A = this chain, B = another copy of it.
Amino acid sequence: MGAATSIRTVDAGEVPAQRIRSAIESLLDERCRLLFVRHASPAHHAALEGLPYDVAFHPECALIVVGAARSDRDGLVVVVSAGTTDLPIAEEVSVAAEALGLRVRRVGDVGVAGLHRLLFEKETLEQADCIVAIAGMEGALPSVVTGLVSRPVIAVPTSVGYGASLNGLAAMLGMLASSALGMAVVNVDGGIGAAVVADRIVRSRTSQ
């Protein structure tokens, strides 16, 4: 059973490209075999060439995955997102979940103007071991999903929007205040965090 504590993240926004390689080398060891670099640029990716680990760059969510992907793809995460602006975080969750060895199914464009489309996906949602629901602005989607199905829901607020959205804090507060029982919340734009919680839920199941 892999301890999730063996996973690390680095924020490329705080480490210039010329320092990223040594930063990563000092973090990867026996215990840590999987590492995510958020906010990564092509320059960061280039700086990692030749590193003795698998290195995959996902520009659509600015994420670099360092380390060997697991092969035991036995758990299913359904990643639900509301609008086009939430797609990069949905991508981050999906990439991270797959790197952790989970199967991922995506349900998109089910924002407030398309909630009826969610009803058609109820069966898919009920098959998930864990649902990750992503939304910014009013952040309604995770509450609606939690009310619709009986699977554990991890809600990810995103920092899209302006004014009253307070860079995602309004969505985050709304999700925490939600009357929908059965969901829990991670940080704004916390896609990797949501994927690791989903991974722990699945592994909790398989390790019994």
Contact = CB atoms under 8 A, between A and B. Distances in A.
A37 interface: no
Contacts of A194: 184
Contact of A154 (B155, B159, B179, B184): B184
A23 B84 contact: yes
Given A84-B23, A144-B140, A147-B113, A176 B182 contact: no
Given A137-B178, A164-B188, A185-B186, A152 B7 contact: no
A143 B114 CA distance: 11
Nearest to A175: B138
A192 interface: yes
A141 to B, nearest CB: 8
B138 A179 contact: yes
A103 to B, nearest CB: 13
Interface residues of A, number: 89
Interface in A161-208: 161-190, 192-194, 196-197, 199-201, 203-205, 208
Nearest to A161: B177
A148 B153 CA distance: 23
A179 B137 contact: yes
Contacts of A138: 139-140, 143, 174-175, 177-180
Given A138-B175, A152-B204, A180 B3 contact: no
- Leading 10 A-B pairs by shortest Cβ distance: A163-B188, A140-B140, A184-B184, A164-B176, A165-B177, A138-B178, A170-B173, A205-B205, A112-B147, A152-B200
22 contacts: A3-B150, A4-B146, A5-B113, A5-B150, A5-B181, A9-B181, A111-B147, A112-B178, A137-B179, A138-B178, A152-B197, A152-B201, A161-B179, A163-B190, A166-B177, A170-B173, A170-B176, A173-B173, A176-B188, A181-B196, A184-B193, A201-B204
